[in-house]
Amino acid sequence: MTVRVLLADDQALLRATFRILIDSTDDLTVIAEAADGREAVELTEAHRPDVVVMDIRMPHLDGVAATAAICSRPELTDTHILVLTTFENDVNVARALRAGASGFLGKGVSPDVLLSGIRTVAAGEALLSPTATRALITRFLAAPDTDDLLIPDAVKLLTDREREVVTLAAHGRSNAQIADRLVLSPLTVRSHIQRAMTKLDARDRAQLVVIAYRSGLVKPQPPTSAPTGAL
């Protein structure tokens, strides 16, 4: 199955470079390009891509607002957002994740990492595993935010095992690592993750992690060092 990608970036040269790279693969294809956030929302509604590669800094409507607009539409629940950033404003990255983004990459990543990232979010997984990313997530996602409120009561719907699995996922553990830790099969872990996502109305694993922190299920740990670059 070919993953359909929409590119949203105000730099035409960068979009062209990404298009050449993505279209050179057998399993990914670019179906549309947007030069600003407003156009990204409109083209996402029109084409229903599997993944939107979204720049944060764009005219008319920035990437955070465009992400929120796309993720708020029930008919676009199958579209996942991969945010691109230069880490100039970590708070905006956290806001994008709260708004529904499935993860983020720095613009300086290698071509292989970008292609892998697109495949990862298309599969409903999250780009939240590396240490630098976990540090950023714990620093900002649990911070008070008057713009959005999560419902802690929703977490009460989880079973003890589901809470355990979600907590480990929020700490950046993969399904295989969780399975080893809890002496379960990876398939069983995946089932627990999927049931938790359904109960908490999470679009994907990234949103499950966001809810875990924002609801207080997982307490943030002080990062040992600041993020220093791209994933």
Determine contact, residues 103/132, Cβ cutoff 8 Å.
no
Determine contact, residues 199/158, Cβ cutoff 8 Å.
yes
- Strand 3-8 and strand 51-55: pairing? parallel
Please, which pLDDT band fits residue 149 given cuts at 50, 70 and 90? very low
Q: Please write the tens of the pLDDT for every residue from 79-88.
A: 999 998 876 5
Q: What is the pLDDT of residue 226?
A: 41
CA angle 102–104–108, rounded 5-degree value? 155
In the chain, the domains with their CATH numbers are 3-127 (3.40.50.2300), 152-214 (1.10.10.10)
Whole-angstrom Cα distance, residue 115 to residue 125?
Answer: 14
Please, which pLDDT band fits residue 137 given cuts at 50, 70 and 90? low
The mean-pLDDT minimum among 6-10, 42-46, 94-98 falls in: 94-98
Reported pTM: 0.73
Torsion sign over Cα 96, 16, 79, 58: positive
Please compute the mean of the pLDDT values over residues 133-151 and round it to a whole number: 54
Bridge-partner residues for 54, per DSSP? Answer: 8, 83
Determine contact, residues 52/83, Cβ cutoff 8 Å.
no
Q: Please write the tens of the pLDDT for every residue from 194-204.
A: 999 889 888 88
Whole-angstrom Cα distance, residue 162 to residue 191?
Answer: 9
Q: What is the pLDDT of residue 65?
A: 94
